[in-house]
Amino acid sequence: MGDRIFHKIIYTDSSESTNSDLLTSSYEDKTILYTFNQTKGRGRLDRSWENFKDKNVALSAVFLEPEINPVWLTAVFSVSLVECLMKYGLNDCWIKWPNDVFVKDCKISGILTESQWYNGRIIKSVTGIGINVNSDKNDLISIERPVTSIYKEIEKKIDLNDFIINYIEMLEKYFKINYNPVMAGIKEKWMEYSRVIGRNASLTEITKGSTPVFGTVSHIDDDGYLYFNDGKSVFKVITGDINIL
Ligand code: BT5
């Protein structure tokens, strides 16, 4: 099976944001940093990600000069999570393109990939995932949208350290195969778990104040772009908020 992809796995008692830590400090390539106490988690734009101390997981990995399009980092993180959740007995897990994992109608996880560029090249990408593991109804009620946790779904508390080990094993499995997610079948799995292909959907740019366009999703290409047909033309997007109608 060869060497491990993630050479260094670091636990920290607390972090404002594991993504920010990896972005602003010098860590070795493919270091993982995780905590159960993230205090200022970030989503896309200036959205926040709630952690709930010692109940949930925040994990990020750094990729120096990544050999692959960073969109596949997001894809590997989400496919790995869906398969990990299935092992814990959760049914009906799916990926809401491009960066959320859902159980039925509820968000259980969000992923954020951020990159730094120099001279037209990506010198560093950081992918971070927040996963609701043991948070209960009373915690989650503070979030303004339908959300869930593993605990809420299976009514059993999970050992967070075991969960981290299982999740990293899943990441290893998918990153190991030639470090090429397209080759490794990640694209197929991403499409399989993304319930958007062929569906009627609305698509909203993530910039503030934008209005949704309506149409259907045809496919995702090898660069991770989603193709959207609004009835007049087919155009491709790399990010956005998509909602199945
Ligand atoms: C995301 O953004 O969902 C990406 C979240 C990434 C968090 C990880 S944790 C490790 C690493 N370090 C960081 O600082 N960030 C990453 P977005 O698609 O923009 O969604 C953000 C929205 O998700 C918020 O506006 C809330 O509506 C919702 N949300 C916040 N906390 C949540 C939670 N615990 N569970 C479910 N939904 C949540």
Q: pLDDT tens digits for 14-52?
A: 999 999 999 999 999 999 999 999 999 999 988 999 999
Question: Is residue 240 in contact with ligand 1, taking CB distance under 6 Å?
Answer: no
Question: Is residue 66 in contact with ligand 1, taking CB distance under 6 Å?
Answer: no
Nearest partner of 71 among 127, 16, 120, 150, judged by Cα: 127
Q: What phi-psi label fits residue 198: left (phi over 0), alpha (psi between -120 and 50 degrees) or beta?
A: left
Q: Are strands 93-96 and 57-64 parallel, antiparallel or unpaired?
A: unpaired
- Please state, rounded to an integer, the average pLDDT across all residues of the chain: 92
Q: How many CB atoms lie within 10 A of CB 28?
A: 9
**Distance, CA of 175 to CA of 173 (rounded, Å):** 6
Confidence band of 208 (pLDDT split at 50, 70, 90) = low
Task: Give nearest CA residue, ligand 1 atom 30.
Answer: 49
Confidence band of 178 (pLDDT split at 50, 70, 90) = low
**Distance, CA of 164 to CA of 71 (rounded, Å):** 22
Question: Is residue 150 in contact with ligand 1, taking CB distance under 6 Å?
Answer: no
Cβ-contact 93, 86 below 8 angstroms: yes
Looking at residue 177, its pLDDT comes to 61
Over 90: is that where the pLDDT of 101 sits?
yes
For residue 224, give Cα distances in angstroms to 21, 24, 113, 175, 187.
Answer: 26, 26, 13, 16, 8
Q: Which atom of ligand 1 is nearest to the CA of 130?
A: 9
In terms of pTM, does the model score above 0.85? yes
Q: Which atom of ligand 1 is nearest to the CA of 147?
A: 36
Question: Is residue 33 in contact with ligand 1, taking CB distance under 6 Å?
Answer: no
Q: If you measure from the C-alpha of residue 28 to the centroid of ligand 1, how many angstroms do you get, rounded to a whole number?
A: 25
